[in-house]
Structure 1
C-alpha cells in the first residue's frame, strides 16, 4: 500500500539518496523501530525513479490508525530537514535574484554570504551555538508543520511545487532575512568607503609626532602616550572636517581614531591583550604600515597588566 510519494525536480536527482536516508532514519526514530532489525517490517522506502521516492506500508504489521500519524510525522520532519539543509540556500538566492535583479552579480553573491552568516550563527557568535540551533529548529518546525498537514490529505508531494507555492510563513521569513542582509551589506559597504576616505586623509596628512603608544585597557578604553610614555591629551583638537565625519559616522567608542588622526604620528604601537578586536583592526587598516601591535613587551608588560580591566 502506497502511503505517500515524494518527487524531487530533475535538477536534484543526485539528492534522492540523501532524502531517502533522511526519511528512513526519521521513520526508525518515530516508529521506534530497532535499527538492527529489518526496518521494513512496518514501512519501506523505494526509489521508483531517478527523482521519486515511495513510502509503502508492509502488511500485516502496518496498521493505519496505529502507525499512520507517526509515519506522516516522520516524513514531515525528514522533508523539513531536507528543505532547510539542502534547499534553503537556493531559495534565498532565488529571492535575491527576484527582488534585486538590478544589482551586480557580485553584490547578489555578497548578500547571499550575509544571509548565510545570519542563518548559520556568525552574527550571533556571542550568544553561543544554542541560539543558532534553536533558530534553525524553529525554521525546520515551520516547514514540518505544513508538510504534515499536506500529507494528511495528499499522497503525492512535489518538493519544487511545495516550496514554491506553499510554506508561506517560511518563505516570508527567508525574505525578511534577505532584507536584513541587504541592510547589513549596505551599511558595511558605506563603512568601508568611510574607512577608505579616512585612510586617504591620513596619507595626505603631515606627521606631527614621531611615535605614540596606545595602551588598550580593555573594552573600548584606551590611553594615549608619546614616545617617552608621557600621557597625551585624550581629546586633542582635530581637523574640523574629520571631526564632523567621525561624529556622524563612527560610534563613540571608536573616537580613539579621532585622537590618533589629530596627533598624526609617524608610528603607532598598540599595546593590547586583544589584538583581534575590531577597533584595533580598524586602526591597522586606516594607518596601515605605521602600526605595530604589541601583546607583551618590556615597555608595557607591568603597566598594561595593572591597567587591563578584569
Structure 2
C-alpha cells in the first residue's frame, strides 16, 4: 500500500540518499514497535527514480488508524530537517537576490554570510549555542507542522514546489532574518568606514607623547598612564572635529579611543588579560603599528592582577 511519494528537483538529486536516510531513521525512532533489537517494520521507503522516494506500508503490520499519524509526523520531521539543513541557504539566497537585485553581487554574498552567522555560526551573548539550537528547532517545527498537514491530505509532495509556494510562516521568518542581516551589514559597513576615517586622522596627526600605557581593568574600563607610569587625565581636551565624530558614532564605553587620539602617542602598550576583546582590536586597527599588546610583563603583572575585575 503506497502512502505517499516525495520528489526532489534535479539540482538536489545527489541529496536523495540523505533524505532517504533521514526518513528511515526518523520513522525508526518515532515508531517504537517491538524491542529495539527486533522492531517490526510497518513502512519502508523505496526509491522509484533518481529524484523520488515512495513510502510503502507493509501489510498487514501497518494499521492506518493506529500508525498513520505517527508515520506522517515522523516523515514530516525528517523532511523538515532536510529543508532546514539542505535548502535553507538557497532559500535565503533567493530572498536576498529578489529583494536586493540592484545591489552589488559582493553585497549579496556578504548578506548571505551575515544570515549564516545569525542562524548558525554566531553565539548570542551568554545564551550561546542553546539559543541557536532552540531557534533552529523552532524554524524546523514550523516546517514540520505544515508538511504533516499536507501529507495527511495528499499522496505526492514535491519538495521544490512545497518550499516555493507553501511554508509561508517559515519563508516569512527567513525574510525577517535577511532584513535583520541587512541592518547589521549596513551598520557594520558604516562603522568600518568610520574606523577608517579615524585611522586616517591619526596618520595625519602630529604625535604629542612618546609613549602611553593603557591598563585594561576588564570590560570597557581602562586606566591611561604616560611612559613613566604617571596617571594621565582620562578626559584630555579633544580635537573638536574628532569629538563630534566620536559623539555621533562611537559608544560611550569606547571613549578610551577618544583619549588616545587626544594625547596622540607615538607608541601605545596595552596591558590586558583579554587581548581578543573587540575594543582592543579596534584600537589596534586605528593606531596600527603603534600598538603593542602585553598580556603579562614586569611593569603590569602585579598591578593588573590587583586591578582586573573578576
Q: Which moved more, 1:113-122 or 1:262-271?
A: 113-122
Corresponding residue for 1:153? Answer: 153
Structure 1: 5+ residue stretches without partners: none
Corresponding residue for 1:22? Answer: 22
Structure 2: 5+ residue stretches without partners: none
SS in 1 for 2:153: coil
**Cα distance in 1 for residues equivalent to 2:42 and 2:244:** 73
**Cα distance in 2 for residues equivalent to 1:80 and 1:235:** 56
- Deviations 1:35-78 (Å, cap 9, x if unpaired)? 64476x31111010001000000111111111111110101100
Residues 114 and 245 of structure 1: CA distance in aligned 2, closer, same or farther (over 3 Å): same
SS in 2 for 1:152: helix
CA contact (8 A) 1:272 1:293 kept: yes
Corresponding residue for 2:8? Answer: 8
SS in 1 for 2:232: coil
- Deviations 1:89-123 (Å, cap 9, x if unpaired)? 00000000000001111110000000000001505
**Cα distance in 1 for residues equivalent to 2:62 and 2:263:** 81
- Deviations 1:116-169 (Å, cap 9, x if unpaired)? 000015051531211111110000000000000001100000000000000000
- Deviations 1:281-306 (Å, cap 9, x if unpaired)? 00000000000000000001111111
TM-score normalised according to structure 1 size: 0.98
CA contact (8 A) 1:121 1:129 kept: no
Cα-Cα RMSD: 1.0
TM-score normalised according to structure 2 size: 0.98
Corresponding residue for 1:94? Answer: 94
SS in 2 for 1:128: helix
Residues 161 and 35 of structure 1: CA distance in aligned 2, closer, same or farther (over 3 Å): farther
CA contact (8 A) 2:32 2:39 kept: no
SS in 1 for 2:229: coil
SS in 2 for 1:189: helix
Corresponding residue for 1:262? Answer: 262
**Cα distance in 2 for residues equivalent to 1:256 and 1:97:** 40
1:61 and 2:58 matched: no
How far has the Cα of 1:309 moved from its partner?
1.1
**Cα distance in 1 for residues equivalent to 2:134 and 2:121:** 11
**Cα distance in 2 for residues equivalent to 1:129 and 1:195:** 30
What is the total number of aligned residue pairs between the two structures?
309
CA contact (8 A) 1:28 1:35 kept: no
